[in-house]
Amino acid sequence: MTQIGAALLTRLRDELGREAVLTDVDVTAAYARDQMPLAPSGTPLAVVLPTDVAGVQATVRACADAGVPIVPRGAGSGLCGGANAIEGCVVLVTTKLNRIIEIDADNRLAVVEPGVVNQDLREAVAKHGLFYPPDPSSYDWCTIGGNLATNAGGLCCVKYGVTSDSVLGVEVVLADGSLLRTGRRTVKGVAGYDLTKLFVGSEGTLGVITQATLALRPLPQAPGTLVAAFAGTRDAGAAVSRIVREGLVPSLMEIMDATTVDAVEKYLKTDLGTGDGTGALLLCQSDAGGELARRELAAIEQVCADAGAELTHTTDDLAEGAMLMQARRSVHHAIEAFGATMTDDVCVPRTRIAELIEGCERISAEVGLLIAVCGHAGDGNMHPTVVYDADAEGEFERAKRAFDAILELGLSMGGTVTGEHGVGKFKQEWLERELGPVGLRVHRQVKHALDPGNLFNPGSMFAL
């Protein structure tokens, strides 16, 4: 360890307490990467777990003085390596800043710290008849800070939008340790630049979010659920396009290809009731309540039938609906049973979902690896997952080739290389291709203006 590193550890322990500064290599290794094991990572000098804003500021100032980079981290549920440590950094973990500071039911907002778990916030505001919409698949353990950093989405995006659509303001520790407050508590407000949206989705490269003011909605009604099975993805894609065109807005609209359906049925040891030969499965919910929900699902069911669905089923039974939702939320673990995985996150126009899935089938045949596709049909955000044998010679390279081919395909369709997982340390070259030279130059200028010493998460998103 260098003298600078030793002096930094002493200062951090003096200012935050010894228990907040972890250096045991077995412990720090657990904080060195997120859920994307293929993204590069290094060994941190220390993992710091402050319990308040002052602790975050003290950490930032100490690291800035020592010239040691900081990688902010939440629960580590990310899928792009955005929270992966770099060699010799300090990993600043926000999970102990976990207070729900305020729930203002009359103004329909909550003020929370970044370590609050998404599901815990949902349950807390539900007691007030309110609803926090963003619901990533890891909602039962991911934290609000991580959701903010990646501008996370989830299954309800088709109706309620992504995380940024629910953020009124944030509190951020900047590179000099000062505290910036952005946004407001009012419904409307256009004074100055929209700095709130600048920090939401910045993946910890501009500052450390220590508080957020979040907009809430009235608690939805218990959902009705519809499942439609199609012989091929093109028919399912046609149904999605018509649902959107006719102005139907379910609270959830998910698509699963045949490979994904098969994987989920084996994983859950259940039959989803779609029969043999299913090429694609469409899963929709409506939380409009009562007769409104029944009419909405009936209209969607008719669209699916007209598009060639071989089977449609609608239910008001909450247990049956929950079983179908469990099938969708279990996809990631179900596919992992087949081998090592690379989960992509490409978003295309909704009219081109079927083309993307068919393109993934072609890529699968070309590289000789299994690719399972599911995603949020309501907003075109697909998650093709490449399965490979990590111990077999050459399979990682083929998997990476497939991963890149999917991103290339998505861009060629007018899409984007990430819809909700972020860029992190795995997709920098693809961000550059999507943004172009002018867009990337502006990103670098913003980064330099707010973080001139490249203190926060260097090497993530893009290189300076």
pTM of this prediction? 0.93
Which pLDDT does position 274 carry in this prediction? 64
Q: Mean pLDDT over all residues of the chain?
A: 94
Mean pLDDT confidence for 305-309: 96
Cβ atoms of 363 and 406 within 8 Å: the answer is yes
Q: pLDDT, tens digit, for every residue of 13-33?
A: 999 999 999 999 999 999 999
Q: Could you tell me which CATH class the domain 100-218 is placed in?
A: alpha beta
Domain at 224-412, CATH homologous superfamily:
FAD-linked oxidase, cap domain/gating helix (3.40.462.40)
Residue 407 has pLDDT above 90, yes or no: yes
Q: Is 459 left (phi over 0), alpha (psi -120 to 50) or beta?
A: left
Which pLDDT does position 36 carry in this prediction? 81
Q: Quick one: what percent of the chain has pLDDT higher than 90?
A: 88
Architecture of 3-93 per CATH?
2-Layer Sandwich (3.30)
With cut-offs at 50, 70 and 90, classify the pLDDT of residue 273. low
Tell me which long-range contacts 355-361 makes (C-beta under 8 A, separation of at least 24).
355/237, 355/413, 356/382, 356/384, 356/409, 356/410, 356/413, 356/415, 357/233, 357/237, 357/255, 357/257, 357/280, 357/382, 358/233, 358/234, 359/406, 359/409, 360/257, 360/384, 360/406, 360/409
Token pair listed for 387:
């399965």
